[in-house]
Amino acid sequence: MVATAAQIRRNTVLLGLCLLVLSGVLQLAVAVATITLVLVTGIESILGLGPAIFLVAGALAALPAGRLMDRIGRVPVIAGAFSIGALGCCLTALGCATSSSLLVVLGFIGVGAMNGGVLLARTAAADMVAPERRARAISYVLFGALFGAALGPLVFRPLFAGKDLELDTLVVPWFAAAGIAVVGVGIALCIRPDPRTIALQLAAAGGLGSAPQGAPAAPLREILGRPGVPTAIVGAFASFAVMVGVMNLTGYIVVGHNHEQADVFTVISLHIVGMYALVLVIGQFIDRVGRRQALVGGLAIMAVSTVILAWAESIAGTSLSLFLLGLGWNVSYVAATAELVTHATPVERGRLVGATDLVAGLLGATLALLGGAAYTEWGVAAVAIGATAAVVAPALVILLARRPAAPAFEGAR
């Protein structure tokens, strides 16, 4: 029996709440990851290492998490990822309390792994609908992260207000983030039936528009070669890597412009608003105009944002840059994800999206490390120039690539 419309709506809301929780925890990680590691080690030149650890952990977790999702379902993986994240936040807090760089690094690995696992919730969103509605389904779930933007100013900003930025100041915020992650575990466990089960039911009922029910998962190499997949992967790589690479350096850039640490949460909140505020409109827009056009348009918006970053020094200017960065990511990444899941069966989607996230996360970590070094040596202009090139080049590749003669599966677009 196929899941009812009410069950699908309920699952969609709960998946959106999972992204809300993740967004709230990540605000703290983005705002203070660079500074936390610098404070605990006393080495300023490694300011890009904190975000890099976080991003590499998320990337390395994405592929096994995706494979596990295909095997046992979406819900256990999402709930498990939140559990690992809560532990990571606690370890980071203890590392700050004891000045232990080892505990901080282990904590960052846990928080990063949580991010890699929970972000695969967008695969679960696509599981429950027909191909022509997948971009908007993904957008509904991502919309939940918009409300997580309020957690930074409401929860974390008061914890930093009026305080000198020392290791002791970071202990309580990291424990608070752990509590938020525990809430995510409870929300994830309420999702039922599992979206993977719904996808298999749709396939059995003939409503999936993809491969026949019961068909075994193809090797990843074969999936990656299907028409439409390579260009979607290029767009996903560029949009995610540049977005997280720049975002994770924002805290240090803002403080470097002589602003207060508490001001970082304002910038990050507006960045998250850019990422998710228009996502409901954007999902419908992508389904209407096409994913290829959306990929290029999103990367173009990101290029505008990184150019602004080179000149902005005020909180307002930096906020505008990060808002546009989030908006461009929204357009290109939703389009890329919708295209990827359309060319994969229910037992292939997790590994395809996970593999994409793996490489995109590693690229993001590389950009954060290179960006940190470039910022230390030459300033924010070097970061902005490199980030602009990293989105313009892939956009040109997508524009020049030959369109696939036919979709990989019946019903795909």
Convert the pLDDT of each residue in 173-184 to its tens digit. 899 999 999 999
User: Is there a contact between 134 and 338 (Cβ–Cβ < 8 Å)?
Assistant: yes
The whole-number pLDDT of residue 8 equals: 92
Per residue in 361-376, pLDDT (tens digit) is 899 888 878 887 888 7
Percentage of residues in the chain with pLDDT exceeding 70? 91
The whole-number pLDDT of residue 410 equals: 42
Burial of 149 (0-12, 13-18, 19+ CB in 10 A): buried
Rg (CA), the chain: 20
The whole-number pLDDT of residue 261 equals: 67
User: Is there a contact between 343 and 226 (Cβ–Cβ < 8 Å)?
Assistant: yes
User: Is there a contact between 48 and 332 (Cβ–Cβ < 8 Å)?
Assistant: no
pLDDT band at residue 48, thresholds of 50, 70 and 90? low
Per residue in 150-172, pLDDT (tens digit) is 776 677 777 776 676 778 888 98
Start-end of H helices in 277-314:
279-289, 291-311
Per residue in 227-286, pLDDT (tens digit) is 889 999 999 999 999 998 888 787 778 877 878 767 887 888 788 888 887 888 888 888
64-88: average pLDDT: 95
Identify which has the larger pLDDT, 16 or 152.
16
With 80 as the cut, is the pLDDT of residue 44 above it? no
408: which 2 tokens? 């990989």
Question: Domains along the chain?
Answer: 5-208+216-400 (1.20.1250.20)
Residue 50 one-letter amino acid: G
The vertex-68 CA angle with 413 and 192, nearest 5°, equals: 75
Per residue in 306-356, pLDDT (tens digit) is 999 988 889 999 999 999 999 999 999 889 988 998 888 888 888 999 999
Identify which has the larger pLDDT, 356 or 409.
356
The whole-number pLDDT of residue 213 equals: 47
Per residue in 274-302, pLDDT (tens digit) is 888 788 888 888 888 888 899 999 999 99
Percentage of residues in the chain with pLDDT exceeding 90? 43
With 70 as the cut, is the pLDDT of residue 408 above it? no
The whole-number pLDDT of residue 355 equals: 92
**Both ends of the chain: CA-CA distance in Å?**
27
The whole-number pLDDT of residue 86 equals: 97
Model confidence pTM above 0.85? no
With 50 as the cut, is the pLDDT of residue 409 above it? no
pLDDT band at residue 195, thresholds of 50, 70 and 90? very high
pLDDT band at residue 42, thresholds of 50, 70 and 90? confident
